[in-house]
Amino acid sequence: MGAVNSVARPTVLVVDFGAQYAQLIARRVREASVYSEIVSHRISVDEVQRRAPAAIILSGGPKSVHVDGAPLLDPRIYELGIPMLGICYGCQLIAQQLGGVVARGSTGEYGRTVLSRDGESNLLSEFPDVFDVWMSHFDAVSAAPSGFRVTARTPEAPVAAMEDGKRKIWAVQFHPEVVHTSNGQRLLERFLVDLAGIEPKWTTASVRDSQVAAIKSQIGTQRAICGLSGGVDSAVAAALVHRAIGANLTCVYVDTGLMRKNESDQVVETFKRNLGIELLHVDAADEFFDKLAGVTEPEQKRKVIGETFVRIFERHTGGITDATFLVQGTLYPDVIESGGRDGASTIKSHHNVGGLPDDMTLQLCEPLRDLFKDEVRALGSALGLPDEIVWRQPFPGPGLGVRIIGEVTRDKVRILQDADAIVREEIRAAGLERDIWQAFAVLADIRSVGVMGDERTYARPIIIRAVTSDDAMTADWARLPHELLARMSTRIVNEVDGVNRVAYDITSKPPGTIEWE
């Protein structure tokens, strides 16, 4: 499975000790224009040496160093002389493993607190004597290991920062990666650039150029196919591969009939006309509606849509018999979530196009495997994709099918497309597009009574769903201004035939999911 992989570049390894801390740190490092990768705390000293990172960051984690089974680091890694920064749990672990003392907390320290610097510090030298930091810990280092200098404290943490310049190890109890720590990003940059001596060269242009080169060497003069979904990831992957291999890429766009209003036209317009990419536009709406007739149960619906998609995709790509590669828009968080770089691609390939056949003979090309969503967006813009595609909200594989409660029919799709377009237009007009994770309409399977122009109506309700989120794992309902909701409601009832009522979904996730089915 020939995934396009990292070309040589200075890399920071972010060691994961649990929860989401590592991901956020890795993103912040990349915001400092330094490439980072997340690795398990089980990484061996040999593996670290093989990868020769420019620096190592130990992340926070939910456990106490005192409990059985607390995640540890191979202590030989401390002796490699690779610049290291420990954060929160990482700081306590350094203290514990190098001979200091970590005291069990009695109250802990959560949220904003004031940090006071204490003596000389390489890490903190440019910082004020006192500044706000964000804490989230129960235990705390009470004595630094020998060779370490204590450089800051807070009311509850006598060792809020410590360092051993000789061993090139720095550690902070607070969280520089969260926005609430003032100058947190600057602290990370101080470590990466000034102390670890890394040149900050990881930029969108460098990503684009190195990935284009990597794809060229992976695919060469062979042919590749790419399934476009209308979403950002497959669009950017396709544009990148096209930049590398030109006419040897064929894109396949299966139009399920369950796409958002005008979405199909936009995909064809962008790829065929603007980018000049060979695009097979398969209008399969009839087949999808036939298969969905009478299907109401959500999981069954997803299954029918997924299977139909795969069958149609296979039928049409089967004609491209000389292709050796399948391009997929797998992102780094998917790789991390599926438990590491190896093996992850298999899981995602099934998920991405709704389940590829096991006997697939195509090799995978996944040029976005190392990237976070925001980096993919920046890359899309650098490749000339329009904002409407680059800033498109996430959209589920089964499309509007899972936003129509009950049976999916052409009529209902038309109603939902029109209502959904109004919701998105109004969000855009209010300038909220980049603050809202997803905003869309759902069509319920009930009718209610209303009155319009002295006439009784008996029609369907539209439910507006708008959420804020960082990663879709959790989400909160968006506190949209009432005037905005009022405008959406008025427009939907007036402009969309078959709708006489609008409701707003005020459920967070959990307990609700973002989609209704």
**Is 177 noted as a catalytic residue in this protein?**
yes
Nearer to ligand XMP, 448 or 513 (CB): 513
Question: What is the distance, to the nearest Å, from the Cα of residue 212 to the centroid of all Cα atoms in its chain?
Answer: 22
Q: CA-to-CA distance for 92 and 171, rounded, in angstroms?
A: 8
Residues 93-132 that bind ligand XMP (CB under 6 A): none
In 3D space, the residue among 509, 517, 228, 504 whose CA is nearest the CA of residue 392 turns out to be 228
Q: CA-to-CA distance for 111 and 225, rounded, in angstroms?
A: 49
Name which position in 398, 399, 401, 461 contacts ligand XMP (CB under 6 A). 398
DSSP conformational letter for 329: -
Binding to ligand XMP by residue 438, rule CB under 6 A? yes
Binding to ligand XMP by residue 355, rule CB under 6 A? no
| Residue 515 and residue 466 in contact, taking contact as beta carbons nearer than 8 Å | no
**Is 88 noted as a catalytic residue in this protein?**
yes
Nearer to ligand XMP, 18 or 394 (CB): 394
Q: Which amino acid is at 136?
A: S
Nearer to ligand XMP, 71 or 406 (CB): 406
Q: Which stretch binds ligand XMP (CB under 6 A): 5-13, 252-260, 395-403, 497-505?
A: 395-403
Name which position in 397, 399, 401, 461 contacts ligand XMP (CB under 6 A). 397
Q: CA-to-CA distance for 94 and 147, rounded, in angstroms?
A: 12
| Residue 132 and residue 113 in contact, taking contact as beta carbons nearer than 8 Å | yes
Q: How far is the CB of 422 from ligand XMP (least distance, A)?
A: 19
Q: Which stretch binds ligand XMP (CB under 6 A): 42-50, 191-199, 308-316, 390-398?
A: 390-398
Q: How far is the CB of 362 from ligand XMP (least distance, A)?
A: 20
Binding to ligand XMP by residue 333, rule CB under 6 A? no
Nearer to ligand XMP, 121 or 352 (CB): 352
**Is 175 noted as a catalytic residue in this protein?**
yes
Q: Which two tokens stand for residue 121?
A: 């510090």
Q: How far is the CB of 514 from ligand XMP (least distance, A)?
A: 3
Q: Which of 37, 109, 156, 177 is catalytic?
A: 177
| Residue 251 and residue 278 in contact, taking contact as beta carbons nearer than 8 Å | yes
Calculate the dihedral angle through the C-alpha atoms of 23, 25, 27, 33, rounding to the nearest 10 degrees: -150
In 3D space, the residue among 10, 27, 21 whose CA is nearest the CA of residue 332 turns out to be 27
Q: How far is the CB of 164 from ligand XMP (least distance, A)?
A: 44
In 3D space, the residue among 42, 35, 43 whose CA is nearest the CA of residue 372 turns out to be 35
Name which position in 472, 503, 505, 507 contacts ligand XMP (CB under 6 A). 472
Binding to ligand XMP by residue 513, rule CB under 6 A? yes
Q: Which two tokens stand for residue 284?
A: 């399969």
Binding to ligand XMP by residue 515, rule CB under 6 A? yes
Token look-up 């590592």 returns 22
Q: Which of 31, 37, 41, 88 is catalytic?
A: 88
Binding to ligand XMP by residue 399, rule CB under 6 A? no
Binding to ligand XMP by residue 514, rule CB under 6 A? yes
Binding to ligand XMP by residue 329, rule CB under 6 A? no
**Residues in contact with ligand XMP, total (CB under 6 A)?**
10
3-state helix, strand, coil in the chain (%, to 5): 35, 25, 40
Strand 109-117 with 249-255, pairing: unpaired
Q: Which of 41, 137, 175, 242 is catalytic?
A: 175
Q: For residue 329, which phi and psi values (nearest 5 degrees)?
A: -95, 45
Q: Which stretch binds ligand XMP (CB under 6 A): 93-101, 396-404, 449-457, 498-506?
A: 396-404
Q: Rg of the chain over CA atoms, in angstroms?
A: 26
Q: How far is the CB of 494 from ligand XMP (least distance, A)?
A: 28
130: which strand partners? Answer: 116
Name which position in 396, 399, 401, 461 contacts ligand XMP (CB under 6 A). 396
Name which position in 105, 200, 355, 394 contacts ligand XMP (CB under 6 A). 394
Nearer to ligand XMP, 257 or 398 (CB): 398
Q: Which stretch binds ligand XMP (CB under 6 A): 188-196, 359-367, 394-402, 500-508?
A: 394-402
Q: Which stretch binds ligand XMP (CB under 6 A): 309-317, 340-348, 392-400, 498-506?
A: 392-400
The strand order across the sheet containing 35-40 reads 35-40, 11-16, 55-58, 84-87, 169-172, 157-164, 149-154, 109-117, 130-137
Q: Which two tokens stand for residue 274?
A: 């603007």
510 contacts: CB under 8 Å, gap ≥ 6: 474
**Catalytically annotated residues:** 88, 175, 177
**Interaction site with ligand XMP (CB under 6 A):** 394, 396-398, 438, 472, 509, 513-515
